[in-house]
Amino acid sequence: MLTHRAIWDALDALAERHGLTASGLARIAGLDATAFNKSKRVSKDGRERWPSTESLAKVLEATGESFDQFVSRGVYLQFPSTHRNVSVPLLGLAQAGSGGFFDSAGHPAGQGWDEVELPNAAIEGMYALEVSGDSMEPLYREGDRVVVAPGEKVRRGDRVVVRTRSGEVMIKLLSRQTVRTIELQSVNPAYPPRIVPISEVEWMARITWASQ
């Protein structure tokens, strides 16, 4: 179910993805700069205040994101305690460049995978990678685990895992894709954008969740 906290967390995550504060996000959407302030999320008498559908629509239009992206990348669903976790394959990012761990479509294959538990919202084929390096800081730090869905459609602005035909595996933001190249960005400004020819991309998969 969608909760009050989940919706506001999703708006905060949306702002962070676009390098904005909550106030900055409101401004680019043509709203009052205080519309998303934490002080506006609960009334003086303790009642929860929800963002209006009109406000959400303006924010999504301003950022170029769809509602599906907003939900899948920002809203963390809360499950009753009767639901059980499920286990998915887990691999270190540094290991992922070695041969034998993936099939040609980017699905887990072979031996050497560990396991990690996730909420039972996990869909078939998902797996987790443990982050190494600092190119995605502060979004992802060393040791964080990102959950990858190989069958999901990838769109501009998505967080993705890319494996090249030379065996390099990267966690990046997909900033642009043409018939010839993809442009990948790091969150850490110390790392310049990467332009990779499509002919060199073995597979690319969308990150749907992160455990931090």
Highest mean pLDDT among 15-19, 73-77, 144-148, 160-164: 160-164
What pLDDT digit, counting tens, does each position of 55-107 carry?
888 988 888 887 766 765 554 434 444 445 667 778 878 677 777 777 777 87
Q: What CATH code is assigned to 4-74? A: 1.10.260.40
Q: Among 1, 201, 212, which Cα is nearest to 104's?
A: 201
Please provide the average confidence, as pLDDT, over all residues in the chain: 81
Contacts of 142 (CB under 8 A, 6+ apart): 131, 132, 133, 134
pLDDT at position 72 is 58
- The distance from CA 188 to its chain's CA centroid, rounded to whole angstroms, is 16
What pLDDT digit, counting tens, does each position of 150-169 carry?
878 888 888 899 999 998 99
Distance CA 24, CA 15 (A): 8
What pLDDT digit, counting tens, does each position of 116-138 carry?
776 554 556 788 898 988 998 88
Distance CA 162, CA 193 (A): 14
> What is the third-level CATH fold of 86-211?
Umud Fragment, subunit A (2.10.109)
Domain chopping of the chain, boundaries: 4-74, 86-211
Distance CA 20, CA 63 (A): 11
